[in-house]
Amino acid sequence: MISTARQRARELHEKLTAEILARKGQKAAGAARVRQVKDVRLLEEMRALARRTEAELRPSGAMRARMSRIELRVRDEMRFLRNWASNPLSVAALAPSSQELCRLMARYVEADRDGVIVELGPGTGAVTQAMLDRGVAPERLVLIEYSADFCALLRERFPGVNVVNGNAYALGEVMEELGNPPVASVISGLPIVQKPLPERQALLQDAFSRMAPGAPFIQFSYMLVPPVKGLVGTTISSTRWVLANLPPARVWLYRNGDPTPLAG
């Protein structure tokens, strides 16, 4: 409605401008000339009013930014729905994680450790953005995403980030292709509980083999119990529930050989 009213004000401004130019181009003398000047002044006042109306109806910078974020969120949710519909077991959720959950996950990435930070199943990049907002350098991020559509989106959205179209559960093969760089942290948005427990355990063991003792494997889950259990020498901690997420979720932190508890 506001957009339509603004368009009408703009059209009125253009019509008044054309009429003013036409009136000024007319040749008149005496009383006709006086009348012409008055008409032009009235038209100019009306044009100024139309211009002010258009300006007042124009969204502010903050409103445009908010509308842009909403539009981006809607597009991302539509992408999630399309990908979920085509392969329900490969997508962790029906919609991107909430900003609160993403910030909570990014909080536990240990960027002060040497090595790359591996994100498994980044989707549309909600957690990626949270890590960048926290100050993680783009070139340190390695995103492993199975969906080619999401990979194309991630490369467009995050220039400088290394996006790999591959199977996150074959972490060893992917990292070998990258030259086996040391890994500082692993952060996962995978639908990990949909895999058999031995596959989940194998993924974490593979990740731990590439990280220094105590480095974190960060996983979100909607479950009441840890999504991966039965790993010898591994400590498990969890955060509070993020109720704003749909559905509510929390973050699970796994460390190999380090008893440091998880706060928050």
Determine contact, residues 126/99, Cβ cutoff 8 Å: yes
pLDDT at 2 over 70: no
19 or 78, which is more confident? 19
For position 229, what pLDDT does the model report?
93
Q: Point out the least confidently predicted range of 61-75, 109-123, 193-207.
A: 61-75
pLDDT at 88 over 50: no
- 252-257-261-264 Cα dihedral, nearest 10 degrees: -40
Fold classified for 70-256: Rossmann fold (3.40.50)
For position 59, what pLDDT does the model report?
62
* Alpha-carbon 170 to chain mean position: 25
List of residues 6+ apart from 255 with CB closer than 8 A: 214, 215, 216, 217, 234, 235
pLDDT at 259 over 50: no
For position 121, what pLDDT does the model report?
94
Q: Which run of H or E residues covers position 141? A: strand 141-145
For position 84, what pLDDT does the model report?
46
pTM exceeds cut of 0.85: no
CA distance linking residue 236 with residue 254, whole number of Å: 5
Determine contact, residues 128/161, Cβ cutoff 8 Å: yes
10-41 pLDDT per residue, tens: 777 788 888 888 878 887 777 777 777 777 78
157-214 pLDDT per residue, tens: 999 999 999 999 999 999 999 999 999 999 999 989 989 999 999 999 999 999 999 9
* SS3 category, 108: coil
Determine contact, residues 125/131, Cβ cutoff 8 Å: no
Contacts 24+ apart (CB under 8 A), 31-39: none
Domain regions of the chain by residue span: 2-57, 70-256
CB burial class (10 A; 0-12, 13-18, 19+) of residue 196?
exposed
With a pLDDT cut of 90, the percent of the chain lying above it is 52
